[in-house]
Amino acid sequence: MRKVIVAAAAAVLSMAPLLTMAQSPIIIKFSHVVTDDAPKGKGALKYKELAEKYTGGKVKVDVYPNSSLYKDKEEIEALQLGSVQMLAPSTAKFAPLGAKEFEALDLPWLFKDNESYDKAMKGPVGQWLFKKLETKGIIGLGYWDNGFHMVSSNRPLLMPADFQGIKMRISGSKIADQYFRNVGATAQIMAFSELYQALQTGVVDGCENTPSNYLTQKLHEVQKHITVSYHAHLQYAVIVNAKFWNGLPADIRGQLEKAMAEATEYTNMIAIQENEDALAEIKKTGKSEIVTLTPEQDAAMRKALDPVYQDVAKRVSQSLIDEFLKETRGATN
Ligand code: LMR
């Protein structure tokens, strides 16, 4: 009898690690650099809610907002090392991944409007770009929208000459670096989390970003003049570590894909409205003077920034860029 009890106890004990394993959820660490109430922040929380629901708690998504875990460059390294599993960086920050084709998305006035952006990214351009990540050990799951950039400084920026000699913060894009240089400014790459203070203390004079990012980071409080130029587009690619993703059980991966598809739809649905509301909110604070370019100013800025199209064609390849432009510029036709 004693032997039987001992054997039974040993059997239960030997199963203990398995039982614990079966119960402990798969953790997805999702790091990003904006606040919880920016469109991307809301999208990440929506993904958490849906992923945990659809997997019946087998997956837990831990969202780390506002650079609380990693800053821009570090989070990309962390994804490659497997220290985090999911990110949604702006595609302007993809240079360290060596996927230079993403640079084309930063071209000024590439997308005519929100609709042409949406159509292009849902079509072959979006998929073609994701393919470029495959050899980097990264999988693209979806594109999250955050609208068009405004530009600001403590002096009005209305014509190319107004940029002469000022230092602009950029997020990582070689194209933005080039277009600001084309109008006589200098550009400095800086982490998003450092931007407010850098503007406040004069480390940089100006920046570009979307209305929802200005509002949620309070950038309008440290910039006297904002121009609603809408000169370039800010989009995020939600990316995962390929080894992690491919190692998931197929049923779980399917549920996570469904959660991602719905979180993507949600984020893209709220992004435009959030930007409109943010712009109205910024105007209401009266802290910054908001201007829109006249048709003449708009034309002068487009002309000054246009040479950057040749730069990107040289770096990426003219024929690829031609194909790309057919999709993006012809997207509403
Ligand atoms: C920036 O660094 O300006 C943006 O990419 C931040 C973000 O994620 O929206």
pLDDT in tens, 160-206: 999 999 999 999 999 999 999 999 999 999 999 999 999 999 999 99
Residues within a 6 A CB radius of ligand 1: 33-34, 40, 90, 146, 171, 192, 209, 213
The ligand 1 atom nearest the CA atom of 38: 9
Pocket-testing residue among 105, 192, 223, ligand 1, by greatest number of atoms within 8 A of Cβ: 192
Q: Are 73 and 194 in contact (CB under 8 A)?
A: no
Q: What parts of the chain have a pLDDT lower than 70?
A: 1-22, 330-333
- Rounded CA-CA distance 7/61 in Å is 39
pLDDT of 331:
60
Give residue 171 CA to ligand 1 midpoint distance, Å.
7
Q: What is the pLDDT of residue 2?
A: 54
304 Cα to the center of ligand 1, angstroms: 24
Is 208 in contact with 108 (CB distance < 8 Å)? no
Q: Can you tell me the distance from the alpha carbon of 185 to that of 155, in angstroms, rounded to the nearest whole number?
A: 13
Distance between CA atoms of 166 and 299, rounded to whole angstroms? 21
pLDDT at position 275, please?
98
